[in-house]
Structure 1
């Protein structure tokens, strides 16, 4: 496996992506092009959670997927949006520019977002495939499309009461464009299939976030799968000892840890994983 860190640029703005690229397996006797997952970690738009970066990337690797971690724009001198959308589009474009020798199946680009990072993925699932919205958010010059999204304990509707961000100042630091506050309202007939999971007792992001997104997917007739686990805290990551914070057993959740296998089975069902074999 090859691990690389690259700096990508949009005008004078620079951001980091980390690639976890699979090697070919000589015993196969012929080259295999692997799907790739772009991971947007959580962190409340103030940091990128390491618990949702390499541990998830390596897990995806183990199931025959390349992985790229996108360290998107955080709250700062300017709002997170629309730059975060442009970073995603640029990352997809960068993947599409990779040579054939990288053996990437560019028709199988999966976006996986967690918590705040899931808001970027959820919003992009409405904007990225739609020509009108691509032009509005100045991403039409970038090439490539994603095929599906995976959302873990996602921030979807940032206006929802008793849920992140629950603070008008932070909300405007994330986006001054009100049309981006409710990512479920960005969904349209061009949006891609979605796998969504969350716990019923999430104390930071109200589980209704997941429900309103899935409801909108169903209304539009789009493929979707949703798993709500009965208990568990926010930010579980893999929900195993791999992403457990030291001394904090609340980050262990045997039932919720099944989300990864469920999502991979879903990708197989959607013909986005495993068909190369």
Structure 2
């Protein structure tokens, strides 16, 4: 495996992505193009959680998938949106234009978002598949399309009371555009198949987020799989020792740790694996 950081540009704005590229295996007897997962880690739009970056990248890589981690726009001088959408579109465009020597199956670009990063993926699954919205948010200049999305304990509706974000000031720093507050309202019949997992006792992101989003996908007849574990805190990541915070056993959850195997069996059913 090779890892490399890249600086991508949108006009005068620069952002980083990190690629985890699988090597070719001589024993296969031929060259292989691998699917690629684009990860948007969580962090409340104030940082990028490293627990949801390399540990997840290496786990997906073990299933014969390239991985790219997107260091998307955070709360700062400018709102998170619409720049974060443009960063995602640019990343997909960049992937589709990489040389054949990178051995990417460009028909199998999968977006994976966790917590706040899940909001970006959830929103993009609506906006990126709607011609009018692509034009509105200035992503119609970019080529390429994702094939599916994976959402882990995602923020999908920022208006849910008692859930992140908890104050209107933060909400407006994320997006002054109310259209982006409820990602379920952005979905359409061309939105891509989606896998969602969460825990019922998530103390930060109310389960209403995932349930409402999944319900809307089902209404649109978009292939959807939803797994809600009975217990577990927010931000479990892999829910194993690899992503456990030191001395905090609450980040271990044997049942929820099975989410990634469920994801892979679902991707296999969707014909999105090697």
Q: Normalising by structure 1, what TM-score?
A: 0.98
SS of 2:18 mapped into structure 1: strand
Task: Identify the residue that residue 157 of structure 1 maps to in structure 2.
Answer: 157
Q: Deviations over 1:227-259 (max 9, x none)?
A: 000000000000000000000000000000000
For 1:76-95, what aligned pairs fall within 5 Å after superposition?
76-95=76-95
Please say if 1:270 is aligned against 2:265.
no
2:201 is aligned to 201
Structure 1 spans left out of the alignment, 5+ residues: none
2:180 aligns with 180
Q: Deviation at 1:166?
A: 1.6
Q: Distance in 2 between matches of 1:56 and 1:114?
A: 11
1:119 shift after superposition: 0.1
Deviation beyond 3 Å, 4+ runs, structure 1: none
Which residue number corresponds to residue 58 of structure 1? 58
SS at 2:227 equivalent: strand
Deviation (angstroms), 1:63: 0.3
SS of match in other structure, 1:90: helix
| Pairs within 5 Å for 1:175-254 | 175-254=175-254
Q: Deviations over 1:143-202 (max 9, x none)?
A: 100000000000000000000002100000000000000001100011000000000000
Deviations 1:98-153 (A, max 9, x none): 10011000000000000000000000000111111100100001010000000000
In 2, Cα distance between equivalents of 1:179 and 1:264: 32
Structure 1 position 11 matched with structure 2 position 29: no
What SS is found at the alignment partner of 1:257? Answer: helix
Q: Could you say which residue in structure 2 is the equivalent of 1:142?
A: 142
Tell whether 2:115 aligns with 1:125.
no
- The Cα shift of 1:223 comes to 0.2
Would you say how many aligned residue pairs link Structure 1 and Structure 2?
274
Question: d(CA) in 1 for partners of 2:167 and 2:18?
Answer: 31
Residue number in structure 2 paired with 1:24:
24
Measured in 2, the distance between the counterparts of 1:265 and 1:34 equals 17
Normalised by the size of structure 2, how large is the TM-score?
Answer: 1.00
Q: Which runs of 5+ in 2 are unaligned?
A: none
Deviation at residue 52 of structure 1 after TM alignment = 0.1
How far apart in 1 are the matches of 2:70 and 2:80? 14
The residue aligned with 1:116 is 116
Match of 1:169 in 2: 169
Q: Distance in 2 between matches of 1:159 and 1:104?
A: 38
1:5 shift after superposition: 0.2
